[in-house]
Amino acid sequence: MVREGSRVIVVEVGSYGWSRRLYQMGIVPGSKLEVVFNKGVGPVVVRVGDTEVSIGRGIAKKILVKVDSS
């Protein structure tokens, strides 16, 4: 799991029920995210572009990311 404040790039969203909604919200492979809140339990909040999205932990766990070094 990614720590609060880190910036990551989405590698894979995984294709299950929620993926299309995630795509439409701008969470697609290649998009840059900033983890705003992650307390170890409960929903995670990420910033995508100008909006923040709260993602249930179960969904968040299936999103594969890598560290954004830029």
Partner 1 sequence: MRKTIRIAFVGQPNVGKSTLFNAITRGNAIVTNWPGTTVEKHEGHLNYRDYELVVIDLPGIYGLSYTTLEERISRRFIVEEKPDVVVVLVESLNLERTLYLAIEIRELVGNIVVAVTKVDEAHSRGIHINFDLIERRLNTSVVPVSALKRVGLDRLLDTVIRSVGMEKPLLKIDYGELEPFIDSIEHIVQGYSENLRYPTRWLAIKFLEGDAEVEDILRKALGNQYRELEEIREEAKRRIGIDLAAFISMKRFNYAREIVKNAIIKHRVVRKERIIDKIFFNPFTAPIISFSIIVAIFLAVFIVNTGYPISDILRNLGYSELGDIFEEYSLSSLVEKLFEYIGNVVVDTLGEGPLTSFIVNGVLGGLASVLIFIPLIAIAMAILGALEDSGVLTRIAIGTHLLFQRIGLSGHSLLPITLSLGCNVPGVMGSRASPNPLERIKLVILTPFIPCQARLVVLLAIATAIGGFAGAILVPLAYFVAFSVFIVLSYIASVVSKRRGVYEEAELLLELPPLHRPYARVVWWFTWFYLKHFLVKAGTVIFSVSIISWILLHISLSTEYTEDVGGSIAAQISRFLAPLLSPLGISGEKAWITMYAIIMGFLAKELVVSAIVTATNSTSFEEAFQKLGLSIPSAIAFTLFITLYIPCLATLATIYSESKSFKYVLLSVIVMISTAYLIALLSYLVALML
Nearest-approach distance from CB 13 to partner 1, in angstroms:
6
* 33 lines the binding site for partner 1 (CB under 8 A): no
9 touching partner 1, by CB under 8 A: no
Q: Is 3 in the site for partner 1 (CB under 8 A)?
A: no
Tell how far CA 13 is from the center of its chain: 9
**Residues 6+ positions from 60 with CB-CB distance below 8 Å:** 1, 43, 44
Contacts 24+ apart (CB under 8 A), 16-19: 16/62, 18/59
Give me the residues that bind partner 1 (CB under 8 A), please: 12-13, 15, 17-26, 28-31, 37, 39-43, 45, 48-56, 58-59
